[in-house]
Amino acid sequence: MNIGILVSGRGSNMAAILDAIQSGDLNVNVSLVLSNNPQSPALRRAARENIPTKVVNHRDYGKDREAFEAALDAALRSEGVDCVVLAGFMRVLTPFFVRRWKERLINIHPSLLPAFRGLHAQRQALEAGVKLAGCTVHFVDEGTDTGPIIAQSAVPVLDTDSEDTLSARILEEEHKLLPLVLHWLAGGRISIENDRVRIARI
């Protein structure tokens, strides 16, 4: 399976994917690392691994989101990408892009969806006083963090937690969960029935 990874920042989830590939725990090919930010540190890590990289800077397109997303789409297709992974990609994708990659576009979000959608999910969890937080890998649909849930991992919320400490603990789980889901996808174990994800047993 050829995957394309969309990043905007440091790319720690991208790094977790690359580490899983190198360790032999994940058998996928990263065909492209694509960023809207030319200063993204993730691009440098990918380049060191001889993975093709490309920048499609959203600022070059002004308010024309469709043109920006068309450029993203063209770049991914030119590298033969089968599945797109959003790994800290800080742009909201419109239906124009989402429909083109329906059921082949996944995201990782730092909450136990459907709770705490959108930005600052860890802060939302602390403010709500929940005792469990975590992360979710899901298919992307046209809503905000509303697509079919593939897998989740929970962490306790401690009385002493700050947004930073909770975020760090959730991120550790993200780094485990995302490669695992890609392993399932590559093995053909994931299907969607009536907007619900089924994971076949081995």
- Chain centroid to CA 14: how far? 9
Under a CB-based contact definition with an 8 Å cutoff, are residues 4 and 87 in contact? no
Report how far residue 63's alpha carbon sits from residue 68's, in angstroms, rounded to the nearest whole number: 9
Copy the structure tokens of residue 4. 């394309």
Residues in contact with 33: Cβ distance below 8 Å, sequence separation at least 6, in sequence order:
4, 5, 7, 11, 14, 42, 43, 46, 51, 52, 53, 54
- Chain centroid to CA 109: how far? 7
Report how far residue 5's alpha carbon sits from residue 148's, in angstroms, rounded to the nearest whole number: 19
Secondary element (H or E) of residue 200: none
For the annotated catalytic residues, the residue numbers are 109
Report how far residue 84's alpha carbon sits from residue 3's, in angstroms, rounded to the nearest whole number: 6
